[in-house]
Amino acid sequence: MEFRMCTEADIPGLAGAMSMAYSEAPWNENWQEDKAVRRVTAILSNFESIGLAAVEDGKIIGGLLGYVDPYADEDFFFVSELFVIPERKRQGVGRQLIGALEDVLHGKNISVIQLISIDDNDTFYGKCGLTKDDVSVLFKRC
């Protein structure tokens, strides 16, 4: 398995892997191909976006997508998506994607990673060294 920076040519493969990853519990989401491509494209179009792909035998099996979030005293990196195809979950792929991201961010002098996640993923992210912040996520349907 290799980890590499994504290019525009990777968007369909990332979208497919993301769709598969979210098709099972606890998400049980049904991503249409065009909507998944649109999401991946939107994230990779952000300011100083970074996309990392986990590739095995020429196939994208996981991805990490996000962007630099400039702030007053330091820049953060916001992870919009981290996903691994179902048959490769619980095999260290996600943890290795976070490790590869840390290597990239070290070179950019960014030392904070942020993301929003469901409670089901707390154990995984804890193993990766992430902890809960004091910030709440609020939303409203309009």
This prediction has a pTM of: 0.91
Domain chopping of the chain, boundaries: 2-127
Determine how many CB atoms are found less than 10 A away from the CB of residue 131: 7
Q: Tell me the CATH architecture of domain 2-127.
A: 3-Layer(aba) Sandwich (3.40)
Rounded distance between C-alpha atoms, residue 116 and residue 80, angstroms = 8
- Find the mean pLDDT for residues 107-131: 86
pLDDT of residue 19: 97
Give the rounded percent of residues in the chain with a pLDDT score beyond 90.
Answer: 78
Mind listing the pLDDT tens digit for each residue in 14-48? 999 999 999 998 999 999 999 999 999 999 999 89
Mind listing the pLDDT tens digit for each residue in 84-116? 999 999 999 999 999 999 999 999 999 899 988
